[in-house]
Each structure stands twice: as C-alpha cells, then as structure tokens.
Chains A and B, each alone.
Chain A
Amino acid sequence: MSEAKSLRVFMTGVGGQGTLTATKLLAQAVLSQGLPVTAGEIHGMAQRGGVVESTLCLGVLSPRIGFGEADVLLGFEPIETLRALPYLKAGGIILSSDEFIAPMAVALGREQGPDLQEIKAKASACAGTVRFFSIRSMGKSCGAVQSGNIALLGALCASGLLPFGPEVLEATIRATMKPKVAEGNVKALTLGVEAFQTQ
C-alpha cells in the first residue's frame, strides 16, 4: 500500500441516520485506491437515538480523532456539527447538513436548540471553509432520506480534499450496493457534487 499524506475526517450524526454506512463506504473507496485507511466507530447504546460519531483517517494508524485534529468535519445534522466543532483544526473544513433532527428535549418543547444562524456563525468563526447543504431533502428526492449522507460525501469528493474524485465513490457504490439502491445513491452523490460546485 502506498504512502499517503495524512487526512482525518470526523463524522457526526444521529442514530439511525446511516452515518456508519457512509463511513464504511468512504473507507472502501479509499481502500479501492490502494491507500492506507483506518476508520473508527462506536456502537452500542448510542444507536437508540443517541449521537453517532465515526472517523476516517488516511496515512495514520489511529482510528481516533482528538480535539483540533480533524482536517474535515462532516456533520450529518447541524446541532451535531456544532457539538463536534472542537474536533476540527482551526482553519479546517466543515461540510454539514442544515436540516435539524430535534433532540428529545427540544421535540418535547422543554429546551430550545441553537438556530441555524448561530451554528453557521460559530462554524465560520473558526473553520476555513464552511458549507451547509439540505442533504435530507436531497436524499428524499433520490428515494431515501439516508441517501442524503451520500450527497454529503459527494460534496467532500468535490472539495478536492480526498486523493480521488466522485467517480471513485460512484464505482464503490455500484460495487457494494444492490443496483436499485445504488442508483438512488449515485443520484444523491451527483446532487452533492453539484451543490458543492454551485454554492
């Protein structure tokens, strides 16, 4: 396996969103290029509606990312993007969903969560590049909310940060998913790429 420049991607979302599926897919795409990859995830109690964090690391051995170590923060839910900000390097890149999944206390009207404006302001205050996308809507338009995660991966591919482009991810989707599922996800991938390029 060839040497690669180190790159750490921190991913965060809510249980049931498909964060771990996205992580696995991205890791497979990296491996398909013969690059050294380590991904990490924590299962268990977190899956019952809790926060799900995962990592993808290139060119290093550890699957863990500490505060200030992530080059990229992929937020599959905006409150979780905000919560995970400390993991990002100053000047790092944030690609995030702008569609909320309300935590229980917010859904019950007992607490108020941050609004999108506050999240964007705090993200912009420390990151180099910040982009928000309506990935759940993108996913829905491709047949499944979860495909929105693939749209966010599409934006990541389009950012030029990975050592490969969206065509590699597309090939991985086609190689690992059933044709019908793959079709929707490839569509979502394209939407994500376009959204990054036009925003």
Chain B
Amino acid sequence: MGHPLLADAPGRIELLLGNEAIVRGALEAGVQVVTCYPGTPSSEVPDTFFRLSPEGDFSFEYSTNEKVAFEVAAGATLAGAMTLVTMKHVGLNVAADPLMTLAYLGAPGGLVVLSADDPGCHSSQNEQDNRAYARLAGIPCFEPSTAQEAKDMTRAALLFSREHGLPVMLRTTTRVNHLRGPVTFGPFMPKTKPAGVPKDPRHFVPVPVFARPMHLDLMAKMARARTQVETSPFNKEYGSGPHGVLAVGINRSYLADALAESGLEAEFSVLELGFSFPLPEERLTAFMRGKKSLLVLEELEPILETEVRALAQKAGLSLLIQGKDLACLPRHGEYSGRMVTEALYAALGRTAPTPVHCAGTEGLPVRPPNLCAGCPHRAAYFAVRQVYGDEATYSSDIGCYTLGLLPPLRMADFLVCMGSSVSAGCGASRAAGQKVVAFIGDSTFFHSGMTGLANAVYNRHDILLVILDNKTTAMTGHQPHPGVEKTALGDNPARIDIEAVVKALGVTQFRKVNPLNLKATTKALEELKGMSGVRVLLTEEPCPLFARRVMAVKKPMTAYIPDPCDDCGQCLDTLACPAFSKKDGRVEIDELSCSGCMFCLQVCDRIKARKRSA
C-alpha cells in the first residue's frame, strides 16, 4: 500500500502535522523538484519528502546548505520545474543572495521557499522575522494558521508562483509547523514536463543592462499580484463590531478563540490575512474606514502595523492604530491566547479579568538538554578538557555538540552561526592571541565550514579545529550529508571523505582518532597542541542513536560498578553521562540507558564491563 500522502484521494481527511500538510499541498500542486537544508522547525517537510522519494514522482535532495538548496531550486524553476525549497529562518540568511536575484529572474516553473520562523527561539539562535525578506526581495508571502491552511496555501502558493512567474514565500512559525490537525485532501494537478532553460539571456542573465528592466518587470508582476491578493479567499472578514482587528499567522487562531471565550465578539470586526503580502491596500483601507480603532496582531516585528499606519495616512484616516505600543503585545517571543485577550480588552480601554489558575512551584530541578549516553562528543570534549582545560578559548558551532557548553564539559565560549567556528575562531585567535580550539560537526563542515578552513589555511591562521564526525546530521533527526556512509534508505553511493577534503584544502597538521579511545585522543591532542598554524583533529564515531537505528550496530556489553567502590563520584562530576546516577550515596549505572560505549572504563578503573542481562 502506498503512503497516504501520495494517494490521489480528494475528500479524504487525515490528521497531519503542519509540516506534513505542507508536503501534501506541494504534491497536490504537482511539485517536481524539492531541495532543502534541514533545520527545526522545518525538518519534517524534507524528511517526509525523503521517505516518500522512492515512491514519489519528484526529485528530492538534501543539499549541502541553504544557499546551495536555493540555487539548485532556482535552476530547476528556470528550467520549468515546479519547485519547493525548504529551510529554517536563519537558513534564509544563507540563501539570501540567490533569493534577491531570483526575484528579478523570476520563477517560470513556479518556486516556493518555505521559511520556518521560530518566534520564542524554541530551537534557534535568534527570532528574526522573515516577513521582512518578502518585502526586501519583493516577493509574495503566504502565512498559514492551521494544518488545513498549511496544505491549501502551499498548493496555492506554488500555483500562484507558476502563474505569475514569481518566487513566493511560505512563512510559517514553530507553532504552525508543529501543530496537528485534520486536513481534507484535494486533487492532484496534472504535471507538465520541464522544457529546460530557454536561450534567453536578456531575461535570465542579470548583467546591469538586463537587470534594470528586470527590476521594473518584478515591480509590474507584484502590482498584478496585488490585484489578486485584494480578492484572495485566504483573506477573510468576520464580525461587525465598531473596532477593527487585523491578524496574521497563528494569531488568527488565538484571536478566534479569544473572541469566542471573552464574549467580546460584538465589539469587533476582524480582517485575517492569510495571503499577507503584497498588501491588499484597497481592502485594508476599506476595512479601516469607519472603524473606531484598529488592533494589529502580528508576532515579532511591527511590519504590518507600520504598513497600515502609512496606508491610513494616505487615505486620510485618523483612527487609533494599536499594536506593539500595547504592553501586552511584545516585539519579542510568541503571542498567546492570553496576550490577545488582554489586547482586545485594552483596545476597548478595559482590563481583562485575571484567569484563576493553580500556583506554580519555584526552584524545581530543571531538565537541561544533555548529550545522550554514549555520545562521542562527550568523549572528545572530555579529552580536550584534559589537555587544554581553561587554557583555550572554545569556538563552537551549531549541532548537538553545542550542548557541550554545559558543565562539567564547558566546551563553548562563543558561537555565531552555522559554520562560523573555524572563521570566528581565527578572528579571536588573531585579534587577541588567544589559544583557540574550534569544534564543528560533519554536516556543518560540509554546510559552510570548508570555506572557513580554506580561509584559515590561506591566511595562515593559528587554530586547532576539531571535526566531530558522528556520521549523520544528528540534531535535526539523522538526515544524510555528503560524508555519510549510510542513510535511512541505504548506502551513500557518492560519499565524500572529510579527511581527503581537509588535506586537499592544504591542512598538513592532521590527526584522526576514534574519540571513544581516550588515550589515542589525548595523545593526538597533545601533539597538535605542541604545533602552531592550522591543525585539524578528525574524530570519527557514529551517533549511538543513528548507529542503533540505521547502521544496526549492537553493543552487547554494558558498564557497571562492582563493589568495592569508594563512590567518590568523580565519574559523575567529570562526564555527566545520563546513564549514571547517585542513589543513597552509591554511584550506579543504569543498564537500559548505558549505550555500551565503554568510555567511562577509561576514566575510572573501578568501572567494569559485563554482558547485558537481557
């Protein structure tokens, strides 16, 4: 039986994750090429496409980074393919260069870029508002609020993109990517075979003389797009009260619930924007006319608020417009039903009743995310701490290994963005003469670490780079990358060897170890510490979760602590392996949690190995 998402079954209702709904929408539109770089909260979109790829009638790839993903997608749409490219919000920074220019070139086959934003920084280093990118590039933007809309809007965005020859942004937020709701399927659109890129440099090569008319052409396309936004079924009005509310994204759900539950429905008229850019200026102006006030509900930046203020001024309207100036609507973090309720009351000059709830308990022990039992990063970090202690400055990067910042390992002193550990480490080393050890994962190395390493060699920097190769992209859910041996769908037929890349980039001071071998790792680090210039230590050991699930590696032995043990707790204090615990003064290792990596046996000779009990 085929996968339910691939079924041509209009009318069927399935419970879908927002991200799965996006996949269904793209399939219904007839998507032909899908590219991505994974990143929470977008990852289930490409991961679902990956799983469907053996059965599906589309081309899918995990690209090496977002810029590459966007460029492959750009070429595909120029060749006439309906194309989807997915990434998290900060990924669009990496892809911003091709985004800006593709807006000029256009998207003949249709192209939608999914920008999965993360207000509240659930799993990101910032909470930038990528609606600003739609304005900067001059491309249309859709913002779904439910799983059904995630499906419907992806479909509509792809079809709109192809119709107008414009790249389109589908902007989601974590709440929408990770909600589940019923989705009613629609029919599949017929596909047309891509005809290839026509010989037409005037339209596809943006040298200055061609780029200038391309910019005019983009503005003309956006003007045509705006006339469709004016009447888009994704923009809805309800209510007939004297006060207006303008809402986008997930705030539309918060608003609908808040109105129903506060009993304030009669006071408000609502305009929801699902197809939110270009602005439906006429509709907005008509909506504001005659209203006593307007409340704008948008998370993060006051983008719409600023735009409707300008519209009101143009139309000579003097109604009170409120948004980020209300104390209950901050410019940071997520909104909630409660915040929206407070804003509704504030718009009426009233105060919302305080909800009655159970009291919280202060000072409960927290559960910070931790490296898993058997994680090879813990072993590598342990060795680096033994050799360098606090003597070195640790330049970190983005992946599971960022979690090494916590005590007792404390292996992250600064972090900028994906791929920055090498280059930012070089800067710190050169500026202040600090001894710098930089860490980067295998996937991040291919993403954007290689260019930094080339720069380090070329500009004769002094840095030790530790490449933590765990044979997968662990943090985002075990996606493959160019260096992996295995993927969830089988062997990697075109593996790129990290050691060969490092050497080809001109690195001569190189060591490779298995980080679970403490002695060998420490020895290699001591040797590299005695050298200067660019040095690379490659540590190779698969992520234990990946090894178990995908590589079918079985570790039959487990660590345990036989009597007598003085229970000094050194192992706990220096390793912080989650398989260890201290009960009534006795140190124990939980056999179920122990991965069998046997690293702890090298840390304390009282710890022994034995066969698993079951």
Contact surface of A with B, Cβ cutoff 8 Å: 1, 6, 14-15, 23-24, 27-28, 31, 36-51, 60-64, 66-69, 79, 82-83, 85-90, 92, 102-109, 111-114, 122-123, 125-127
A164 to chain B, nearest CB (A): 15
* CA of A113 to CA of B367, assembled, Å: 12
B337–A66 touching, CB < 8 Å: yes
* CA of A39 to CA of B357, assembled, Å: 22
A41–B178 touching, CB < 8 Å: yes
Known: A67-B355, A90-B356. A37 touches B365 (CB 8 A): no
Which of A27, A49, A61, A112 contacts B370 (CB under 8 A)? A49
Given contacts A47-B369, A86-B360, A104-B370, could you give 7 more A-B pairs where the C-beta distance is less than 8 Å? Answer: A37-B180, A60-B260, A63-B175, A66-B355, A90-B356, A109-B585, A125-B358
B178–A49 touching, CB < 8 Å: no
- The segment out of B203-211, B426-434, B503-511, B574-582 that lies at the interface is B574-582
Q: Which 5 A-B pairs have the closest CB atoms?
A: A68-B357, A44-B123, A68-B355, A126-B358, A109-B582
Within 8 A of A (CB), among B545-599: 569, 572-573, 576, 578, 580-582, 585
B359–A63 touching, CB < 8 Å: no
Residue numbers in B under 8 Å from A27 (CB-CB): 15, 180
Residue numbers in B under 8 Å from A109 (CB-CB): 569, 572, 582, 585
Is B390 part of the contact surface with A, judged by Cβ < 8 Å? no
* CA of A15 to CA of B400, assembled, Å: 15
B143 to chain A, nearest CB (A): 15
* CA of A83 to CA of B360, assembled, Å: 7
* CA of A105 to CA of B367, assembled, Å: 8
Q: Considering only CB atoms, which chain B residue lies closest to A23 in the complex?
A: B180
Known: A85-B361, A90-B358, A108-B576. A44 touches B257 (CB 8 A): no
B148 to chain A, nearest CB (A): 10
11 contacts between A and B (CB under 8 A): A31-B13, A37-B180, A44-B41, A46-B122, A48-B372, A51-B367, A64-B336, A66-B355, A105-B366, A109-B569, A126-B359
A40–B357 touching, CB < 8 Å: no
Is B21 part of the contact surface with A, judged by Cβ < 8 Å? no
A113–B364 touching, CB < 8 Å: yes
A36–B182 touching, CB < 8 Å: yes
B366–A48 touching, CB < 8 Å: no
* CA of A24 to CA of B181, assembled, Å: 10
Known: A68-B356, A114-B361. A42 touches B174 (CB 8 A): yes
* CA of A111 to CA of B363, assembled, Å: 10
B256–A61 touching, CB < 8 Å: yes
Known: A31-B182, A105-B366. A61 touches B253 (CB 8 A): yes
Q: Considering only CB atoms, which chain A residue lies closest to B19 in the complex?
A: A43
Is B40 part of the contact surface with A, judged by Cβ < 8 Å? yes
B608 to chain A, nearest CB (A): 21
Most chain A CB within a 10 A radius of its CB, from B250, B358, B366, B582: B358
B360–A38 touching, CB < 8 Å: no
Known: A31-B15, A49-B578. A43 touches B356 (CB 8 A): no
A61–B355 touching, CB < 8 Å: no
Is B371 part of the contact surface with A, judged by Cβ < 8 Å? yes
B side interface size, CB within 8 A: 54
Residue numbers in A under 8 Å from B122 (CB-CB): 42, 44-46
Q: Considering only CB atoms, which chain A residue lies closest to B120 in the complex?
A: A42
Residue numbers in A under 8 Å from B368 (CB-CB): 50, 104
* CA of A37 to CA of B578, assembled, Å: 36
Is B63 part of the contact surface with A, judged by Cβ < 8 Å? no
Which of A87, A107, A113 contacts B581 (CB under 8 A)? A107
B123 to chain A, nearest CB (A): 3
Residue numbers in B under 8 Å from A37 (CB-CB): 15, 180-182
Residue numbers in B under 8 Å from A62 (CB-CB): 250, 253-254, 256-257, 337
* CA of A84 to CA of B368, assembled, Å: 16
Residue numbers in A under 8 Å from B145 (CB-CB): 61
What does the 1/0 interface line of B245-259 toward A look like (CB < 8 Å)?
Answer: 000001011101100
B179–A63 touching, CB < 8 Å: yes
* CA of A31 to CA of B146, assembled, Å: 15
* CA of A60 to CA of B259, assembled, Å: 11
Known: A79-B364, A85-B360, A102-B581. A40 touches B569 (CB 8 A): no
Residue numbers in B under 8 Å from A40 (CB-CB): 175, 178-180
Within 8 A of A (CB), among B204-262: 250, 252-254, 256-257, 260-261
Known: A62-B253, A64-B337, A85-B360. A28 touches B15 (CB 8 A): yes
Which of A39, A43, A102 contacts B180 (CB under 8 A)? A39
Residue numbers in B under 8 Å from A92 (CB-CB): 358
Residue numbers in A under 8 Å from B82 (CB-CB): none
B358–A86 touching, CB < 8 Å: yes
* CA of A66 to CA of B358, assembled, Å: 12
Most chain B CB within a 10 A radius of its CB, from A37, A44, A83, A92: A44
Most chain B CB within a 10 A radius of its CB, from A23, A49, A87, A114: A49
Residue numbers in B under 8 Å from A1 (CB-CB): 182
Most chain A CB within a 10 A radius of its CB, from B13, B182, B250, B371: B182
* CA of A50 to CA of B573, assembled, Å: 20
Is B84 part of the contact surface with A, judged by Cβ < 8 Å? no
B571 to chain A, nearest CB (A): 10
